[in-house]
Amino acid sequence: MANPPTRRSSSSDIAQFLNKSRNITEFVERQPRLMFAVDATASRQPTWDTARQLQQEMFLATAKLTTLSVQLCYYRGFREFQASPWLTDSEELAMRMNKVRCEGGHTQIERLLQHAIGEHRKAAVRAVVFIGDALEENPDSLCNLAGQCGILGLPLFLFQEGQDALVRKTFQDMAKLSKGAWAHFDARSAATLGELLGAVARYAAGGVQALEKSGSSNARLLLEQLRN
């Protein structure tokens, strides 16, 4: 038995579809934009599940505050760097984050910052959140890019796992140069990271005033650095 002929889309159907697509794109582009980046190399495997859960919770909690447009970025393996589309669906962001797995490889923070600057030049990005524990690149090159972020009004919020002294010094310098903030966390301070990520989301949505209204000690920690 022959299949019934498929219905061809009329010109009005196509026009409606294109108009809907444009409306969705315009809606996403109007939302405050937050870039969320993670080091997914092998050294982070021991705390990956905890951090991933917190990051998923941040995406879901952000939806209760305001509509943010978030891009998820990560690097791992041999020169692998991935960046999602800009998304406003917190469930989809959480799902994408859940699929990321750690693989051995070198850090690619310079590549991440270059990508962030490129995205910011297209349309303003309120902040970049980065979570990492290692540094295998030239600190001066990273600080130079962080300084460019500061000039462009793109603050970096850098969250450090572990106790590496070079990572700490470089991340702190990058935060200061970009007019952002640095914080440390480990598996024992998961709740603190969750609060800090929530505070950054508030900052991305409403700036310093939104942080001031938060009243949490972790929001004050970020505020003190942002004002210096």
* pLDDT value of residue 19: 46
pLDDT band at 223 (very low <50, low <70, confident <90, very high): low
Round the average pLDDT of the chain to a whole number and report it: 80
For position 219, what pLDDT does the model report? 66
In this prediction, residue 197 has a pLDDT band, given cuts at 50, 70 and 90, of confident
Tens-digit pLDDT profile for residues 42-81: 988 877 777 677 766 666 655 665 678 989 999 999 999 9
Which contacts of 81-87 are long-range, i.e. CB under 8 A and separated by 24 or more positions?
81/108, 81/111, 81/112, 81/115, 83/115, 86/28, 86/29, 86/33, 87/28
Taking the C-alpha atoms of residue 200 and residue 216, their distance in angstroms, rounded to an integer, is 12
Q: What is the pLDDT of residue 199?
A: 76
9 or 211: whose pLDDT is higher?
A: 211
pLDDT at 194 (0 to 100): 67
SS3 131: strand
Question: For residue 6, what pLDDT is reported?
Answer: 55
For residue range 162-178, list pLDDT tens digits in order.
889 999 999 999 999 99
Residue-wise pLDDT for 76-135, tens only, equals: 999 999 999 998 887 888 888 888 899 999 999 999 999 999 999 999 999 999 999 999
**What is d(CA 94, CA 157) in angstroms, rounded to the nearest whole number?**
20
- SS3 call for 82: strand
Better-scored residue on pLDDT, 189 or 82: 82
Average pLDDT over residues 179-207: 74
Which domains occur in the chain, in start order?
A: 31-227 (3.40.50.410)
Q: How far apart are CA 2 and CA 72, in angstroms?
A: 46
Structure confidence at residue 128 (pLDDT): 95
Q: What confidence tier does 206 reach under pLDDT thresholds 50, 70, 90? A: confident
The predicted structure's pLDDT at residue 61: 59
Distance CA 216, CA 43 (A): 31
Q: Which position has the higher pLDDT, 54 or 3? A: 54
pLDDT at 156 over 80: yes
pLDDT of residue 25: 40
The reported pTM is: 0.79
